[in-house]
Structure 1
């Protein structure tokens, strides 16, 4: 009970700090970002504000507003189509955070299927890649489906273009890559660490704070871990 009270107090203080920030620097797309914004992000965004701030920092909010209804249209287009991406998505659905109650029921699994299917329909050049299911699962813990979809779009197409292959690791970490290749661990490192944005390598709370910082500061955060 004591620990719960302490956690609730800390959460309240975080929410109050953001409320004061909004009152001073604005909210939404008109918010003025300062060093104080980043300090608050690095302390961990409160769950109640994660969806709003992830959408804002990533630019996904603007894209969603510019393309109303696109998510539903993509799902309709994919409905009667068979594809390799669909088969791969089905294979990985039940491997996506199976320990979390949100994905221990048909509702959560169906939402994950729809978001991944819509993205594969939007961008067949990428389609579906292993590890996207883990990232999308976490997005769905904090966001409704359409918002999670646009965050995935922002991640794959603007924040981390061409990220879901080992070549990106080779380009960014040229000195580390030869060593990793010689040890035969490049695949496991790139998949478990980088492709899941460390969600599979860090404790969940630490990983979500890393995602907060990633949406705020971009790819440099991932390669500083």
Structure 2
């Protein structure tokens, strides 16, 4: 693995196009083992692409006087990439969060003032302190620290949705929202647009029933697309849920590289939960040869842990194209039917 000391001056200068503090534009610090050469191979090509996209977005937003309503044009624009400058605006618009803010201007403040369950607050506090310790914006001493905003949004959401309350993983999702919006109220409503609207709220319930159901859905999709991989997991007695739970609970936070993650979320806010399955299937299919070559339980587990560390995932523009081609046709109906099959399997009708 290449270290910072080994990189060329040109590599460092290219990386500095995006930051000058040893951190990425979103505040994540680069480790000693950060691979500047591979990163710059990607970024040299990606910057011109996003500069062109930025100009096209500027024209679109000016002509439309804001983000256009859902349709083929905005879908095409979002799939091709939302520039950092417009990401919060686009997410708020396509998710419906902007409408909630306008219709309920005092609601977030009310939820923040409401009394919380002490047990929920204790669990939130424990996880707030463990959220993105490698990010400069989640240091308590930082001028623009997001630690208090994170605590506030999670506490307010627990009051807003007491059925869910707080579950591990929500801290990472909310942390990313805050990094993009730098606004508590906007992050609160974006979180609400995700949980229960774009992903099942039962991902975060006590029994995580939704998570179990959707692992069955993913299993059925992989069985059709790469049955040998499913057989390999069965051979080594590996439950698919063991290696992919974090993908769904954290919506791929800390799994995908940050820019790839945000490109996935661009699509998630517009197109909903099927994006998660598209990403999962694409990762599995793209890395099936490596996974199938693993000789043991632990080797296979480690292969899944490293599944998103290759250049094919870092190159987010290419990866987004792949999630819309590799899984093939992907109507929402297929997910709905698979979920129904799982529920029927769990609770067979009495004869």
Deviation for aligned residue 1:68: 1.0
Counterparts of 1:184 and 1:84, CA distance in 2: 31
On the 8 A contact 1:25/1:32 being kept in 2, the answer is no
Q: Which of 67, 92, 96 is the aligned partner of 1:55?
A: 92
Paired residue for 1:183?
238
Question: Residues 33 and 70 (structure 1 numbering): CA distance in 2 closer, same or farther, change over 3 Å?
Answer: closer
Counterparts of 1:127 and 1:187, CA distance in 2: 24
Question: Residues 34 and 185 (structure 1 numbering): CA distance in 2 closer, same or farther, change over 3 Å?
Answer: closer
- CA deviation map 1:90-115 (0-9, x unaligned): 11012211111110125311110000
- CA deviation map 1:33-78 (0-9, x unaligned): 4433223212321111111111111111111111111111111113
Counterparts of 2:90 and 2:62, CA distance in 1: 15
**For residues 74-113 of structure 1, what are the structure 2 equivalents within 5 Å?**
74-78=111-115, 81-105=116-140, 107-113=145-151
Paired residue for 2:204?
164
Paired residue for 1:132?
170
- CA deviation map 1:200-221 (0-9, x unaligned): 2111111111111100111110
Counterparts of 1:215 and 1:24, CA distance in 2: 22
Q: Which moved more, 1:19-28 or 1:48-57?
A: 19-28
Paired residue for 2:259?
205
On the 8 A contact 2:172/2:250 being kept in 1, the answer is yes
- Answer yes or no: is 1:222 the counterpart of 2:276: yes
On the 8 A contact 2:157/2:188 being kept in 1, the answer is yes
SS at match of 1:157: coil
**For residues 21-32 of structure 1, what are the structure 2 equivalents within 5 Å?**
21-28=60-67, 31-32=68-69
Counterparts of 1:222 and 1:129, CA distance in 2: 19
On the 8 A contact 1:159/1:219 being kept in 2, the answer is yes
Higher helix content, 1 or 2: 1
Paired residue for 1:66?
103
Question: Residues 56 and 211 (structure 1 numbering): CA distance in 2 closer, same or farther, change over 3 Å?
Answer: same
* Rg (Cα) greater in structure: 2
Q: Which of 9, 12, 18 is the aligned partner of 2:57?
A: 18
Provide TM-score, normalisation by structure 1: 0.86
Paired residue for 2:79?
42
Paired residue for 1:115?
153
On the 8 A contact 1:25/1:33 being kept in 2, the answer is no
Structure 1, unaligned runs of 5 or more: none
Counterparts of 2:53 and 2:93, CA distance in 1: 18
Larger RCO, structures 1/2 (Cα 8 Å, 6+ apart) = 1
Tell me how many residue pairs correspond in the alignment: 220
Counterparts of 1:96 and 1:72, CA distance in 2: 23
Provide TM-score, normalisation by structure 2: 0.57
